[in-house]
Chain A
Amino acid sequence: MKKIHIVGIIVIAVAIGVILTSLKNTSTYADFNEALANPDQEYHVVGKLNKNEPTVYDPKVNADEFTFTLVDNKGVEKRVVLHKSKPQDFERSEQIVVIGKMHGEEFHANDILMKCPSKYNDAKPQS
């Protein structure tokens, strides 16, 4: 067996492993209805904050729970329970991605990503 064959085998093994990893990563972008259909499945839901609904953060009771209402890109509204502290400048966010799954009528998120006009991004100013 030539050494080039060993190299070839390693490449194939790694390739299979990589594909398996990316298949195992079942998390996809979705909307609330898809998440509702598969409550065991983790999803990334992209949406906007509904500013008319209250946001609840009472650190005295639990510093790692924050509740708000998100409207997904299809216009479906759900209460989101984030199991983290309230992010800085939450109200200023333009777009929110919550990562988690549906639990009853609530979406429970273990992580959140926000696009703010101010940070990292030089998007348009609000005035």
Chain B
Amino acid sequence: MKEIEYIGEHLWLGKLGNFFLILSFVASLIALVGFYLSTKNKEYLKFARNAFYTHAFAVTGIIGTMFFMLVNHYYEYQYAWQHSNNEMPMRYILSCFWEGQEGSFLLWTFWNIVLGIILQRSLKNDWEAPVMAVFSLAQVFLASMILGIYIGDHKIGSSPFLLLREHPDYFNLPFVQGYISDPNYLAKITPRGLNPLLMNYWMTIHPPTLFLGFASTLPPFAFAMAGLWRRKHNEWQQIALPWTYFGILILGVGILMGGAWAYEALSFGGFWAWDPVENSSLVPWLVLVGAGHVMIVNKHKGGSLFTTHLLAIGSFLLVLYSTFLTRSGILGEASVHAFTDLGMQGQLVIYVLAFVLLCVALLIENSLLRVSYIMGSCLLMFFGMMYGYKTILFYTWVLSSIGLTAYSYNKYFPKEKDEEELYSREFWMFLGSFVLLLSALVITYFTSVPVLNKLFSIKKAPLKVEDYNLWAVPFAIVILILIAAAQFLKFKKNNAKEFYKKLAVSFIISIAFGITCSIPLYFQKNLSAASGIHKWEIISYSILFTVGIFAVLANADYWLRVLKGKISKSGASIAHIGFALIIIGALVSTSKKAILSKNTAAKQVESLGEGFSGQENIFLEQGDTLPMGPYLVTYEGKEVKGIDFYFKVNYFTKNPNGKPEFAFQLQPKIQDNPRMGRAADPDTKHFLNRDIYTHITAADMRTVIDSTNKNKYNTPENYIRHLGDTIFASNAIIVIDSIVSNLSQAEYEKNDSLLEVTAVLKVYNSNGEIFKARPRYIIKKNTVIPETDKIEALGLKFSFWRINPEEGSIEISMAEKVNNSKDFIVMKAVMFPYINVLWIGCITMAFGTFIAMIERVRKLKISKANHDS
């Protein structure tokens, strides 16, 4: 068979890209071996470093090649075809780059390299080799995810440089098949382009931040692994501390950005929906925060060695686990925004399990036991692959891993001799970290329902937002109390009385403040009854509110009175205030959120119970005015800019005279993308103390009212009515007000010439305005000539064409103009009170964490300088 010479393809690019892919994989493998060898013999160090830098070069090469492909629109490549197109503004080129799985893996790899190089340059001691070996191992796995080669039938990774006509998902499709025999196919295909939901600045800043956050869990992990490896459980912690705080900062900012994006631009109707994808970035953060705190305990007091290792390692493993959840397709129906399955489920499972295996293996000190554990695990995997029984084998492995971890902890791990004091900072910080870990495990367990379904062959549905909230409240209460109190205790022994005395001021103020705020918030009848929440929920909310205030005040108090307002030491206090504000803002804006667009037409099906009374959307015709909460809302009309439809919704407030006064206009948008379908983009009015969120759920998407039909009427319909009866038109109600005749019955019978009967119709439009129509029924020499009458403003035409004297009824036919159905929207309006507290909290927490990180770096430098001199 003769090969077809396709016109216009740039095959060199794919070759170059694949070369870089393989180079990056091989170089990371060599770096891994090199750094491993250098732990024993320092002479290999230079070699290993070079390999790592080669890997870095190769990754940069892949990224460069991909950008070249995207910028020059090489649509013969599936990645460019799927994620970009010509019409797309260039500023979204970054978004195209990381929209797909392969690009986002590359983004992660890239950040790992940046962190790895900084780390390698800052470590010129015994830690370099083991830490960088762990780094290289992570890079080997990441590089393999985009390798895209086949070993037998097993696909390893998914390459971004696949040709569209060779891509396994596409080459069978009719449109590709149709072109494939055509040498000039490239000129004919249309690229799909970027998802319209992702064409905004959030998509430009959120993924890089989040992936830098994921990458920044690697240094603490690498240090902890190196600590296990070298059996030096204590030394690494101080060096890892600034890295841990860096991770807390970046990952935290990344998560909150995601929340802000969901709130501002997506139609979730809130900033946190407990979606598996959201949860799986929150969980590693919680654990990392725990790790950071226990490491501080370790620094001041020593000890807590097992916990620091557990948390630092756990955070990274949970990042891996979340990668598995969101990218393997296992979430299936449970999440709306997981990645699609690229057929890498097996690879991702192996990736996660291999790291768990490595952690346990490093923990085991007895080399015979260690080797047999590794061999045993490999055997189990081999058995599972060959003969099945995967689930049972998996349990066996998990249980033996847990058993060995417990055994090694007991046998080899240094333990503290004496019990911690109750009144000591370390005990409370330890407890706080422990609660964070516990909450992370609970969220992980809930999020893993689809995984559990698979393991146990059950069909449980994912948990509801209310279940998550139910658990979040008690955890938040405990954490906030610990945040408020712990700083007032010194490390080691404290005087309990003094401690309570110091705390008393902020405690009393916050109780007073909490009660005065909770009553109007949660205990006023008219408000709480409407939202339909349970009594104990109200109580737990007010407790949470109060402890939130307590945490804010106590930390402010500690900073001002004890630290004397010093900025350099304020990191913890400020970050804690920020965290407490986030919780308060989230609590109030969520629990007191009010649906303004109450749909009174919705009928409640009583027997179905709660939750079946959809009453959140309101129908508005152009020009209509409806009351919504404290506002009067009108729909002014739409403005069409290309494929973007902006719907102008005007909000009015009532002034003291009861007259409406224009307040503000919102322009929620629907994008009608011919390739991608419709995407709604809400608009929000921000006030200092509340937000008004407006979202279009459905709308009249006709752009032009057909002008040829402008004056056409629909076929008239006939109505038989009596005096006083009504007729319903689509935009008006018609009442037969009176029937007037020019002659009396006697006159008509006598003089057989002309009878004129006029029906006087009173027409009410939806605003209550009254129009009158007077169609006439005329009989001239026994011939009926009906005379029609129109109401132009309403597009209605009436003709009165029959009288039924026996029944006393008349017959009127009515026609409506074709375009009488007016432009309309179905909208949802929600008020989020005090959501600004949440955003202020986010900024405060990020700022505080940043100060803490800088302080840790400074202290590390000082201690290094002392050490050197």
Contact = CB atoms under 8 A, between A and B. Distances in A.
A14 B677 contact: no
A29 B173 contact: no
Contacts of B73: none
B607 interface: yes
B333 A65 contact: no
Interface string B658-677: 00000000000010010111
A63 B461 contact: no
Nearest to A29: B459
Contacts of A59: 617, 619, 698, 824, 826
Given A101-B608, A108-B605, A119-B195, A28 B698 contact: no
Contacts of B813: none
Given A110-B612, A119-B195, A85 B175 contact: no
B612 A108 contact: yes
A62 B195 contact: no
Nearest to A125: B192
B420 A3 contact: yes
B418 to A, nearest CB: 11
Contact of A22 (B174, B197, B338, B460): B460
B385 interface: no
A84 B357 CA distance: 48
Contacts of A79: none
A7 interface: yes
A97 B335 CA distance: 11
Interface in A95-110: 95, 97, 99-101, 103, 108, 110
Interface residues of B, number: 65
Given A103-B608, A118-B195, A92 B340 contact: no
Contact of A62 (B601, B670, B676): B601
B444 to A, nearest CB: 10
Contacts of A125: 173, 175, 192
Given A63-B619, A64-B615, A127-B174, A85 B197 contact: no
A43 B336 CA distance: 18
A19 to B, nearest CB: 9
Given A63-B618, A118-B676, A100 B460 contact: no
B464 interface: yes
A63 B677 contact: no
Query: Which of B173, B337, B605, B614 has the most CB atoms of chain A within a 10 A radius of its CB?
Result: B614
B170 interface: yes
A113 B619 CA distance: 23
B460 A25 contact: yes
Interface string B423-463: 00001000100100010001001100100000000111101
A123 to B, nearest CB: 6
Nearest to B603: A62
A85 B464 CA distance: 20
A89 interface: yes
A57 B675 CA distance: 24
A78 interface: no
A95 B336 CA distance: 12
Nearest to A97: B333
A56 interface: no
Nearest to B336: A120
A35 interface: no
Contacts of B419: 2-3
B612 A63 contact: no
A21 B470 CA distance: 9
A22 B463 contact: yes
Contacts of B464: 25, 27
B619 A46 contact: no
B500 interface: no
Contact of A118 (B461, B677, B824): B677
Interface in B7-37: none
B333 A64 contact: no
Interface string A7-31: 1001100100110011011011110
Contacts of B99: 122
A127 B176 CA distance: 10
B87 interface: no
A88 B460 contact: no
A118 B197 CA distance: 10
B557 to A, nearest CB: 27
A48 interface: no
Contact of A116 (B169, B603, B677): B677
A62 B599 contact: yes
Contacts of B197: 119-120
Contacts of B611: 110
Contact of A64 (B173, B608, B616): B616
A87 to B, nearest CB: 8
B438 A10 contact: yes
A84 B461 contact: no
A20 B680 CA distance: 38
A21 B471 contact: yes
Contacts of A64: 599, 601-602, 614-617
A27 B678 contact: no
A97 B449 CA distance: 16
A28 B459 CA distance: 5
B100 interface: yes
B616 A28 contact: no
Interface string A41-73: 001101000000000010111111100000000
A59 B613 CA distance: 15
B343 to A, nearest CB: 13
Interface in B598-635: 599, 601-603, 605, 607-608, 611-619
B601 A63 contact: yes
A124 B603 contact: no
B434 A7 contact: yes
B158 to A, nearest CB: 12
B518 to A, nearest CB: 25
B438 A14 contact: yes
Interface string B713-745: 000000000000000000000000000000000
Nearest to A110: B611
Contacts of B174: 127
Interface string B667-708: 000100101111110000000000000000110000000000
Contact of B599 (A22, A63, A119, A123): A63
A24 B470 CA distance: 13
B528 interface: no
Contact of B427 (A3, A65, A86): A3
Interface string B352-391: 0000000000000000000000000000000000000000
Contacts of B806: none
A62 B461 contact: no
Given A57-B698, A64-B616, A118-B195, A25 B463 contact: yes
Given A25-B463, A89-B677, A119-B197, A44 B169 contact: no
A6 to B, nearest CB: 9
B333 A95 contact: yes
Nearest to B99: A122
A63 B699 CA distance: 11
A9 B687 CA distance: 46
A127 B337 contact: no
Nearest to B439: A14
Nearest to B100: A122
A118 B603 CA distance: 33
B175 to A, nearest CB: 4
B5 interface: no
A51 B485 CA distance: 61
B769 interface: no
B664 to A, nearest CB: 23
7 contacts: A3-B419, A22-B449, A62-B603, A63-B602, A119-B676, A125-B175, A125-B192
Listed from nearest, the 9 A-B pairs whose CB atoms lie closest are: A64-B614, A83-B614, A85-B697, A27-B461, A63-B617, A29-B459, A89-B677, A127-B175, A118-B676
Given A28-B461, A65-B614, A84-B614, 12 more contacts: A3-B419, A18-B442, A21-B467, A43-B461, A59-B698, A62-B603, A64-B616, A88-B680, A103-B605, A118-B675, A120-B338, A122-B99
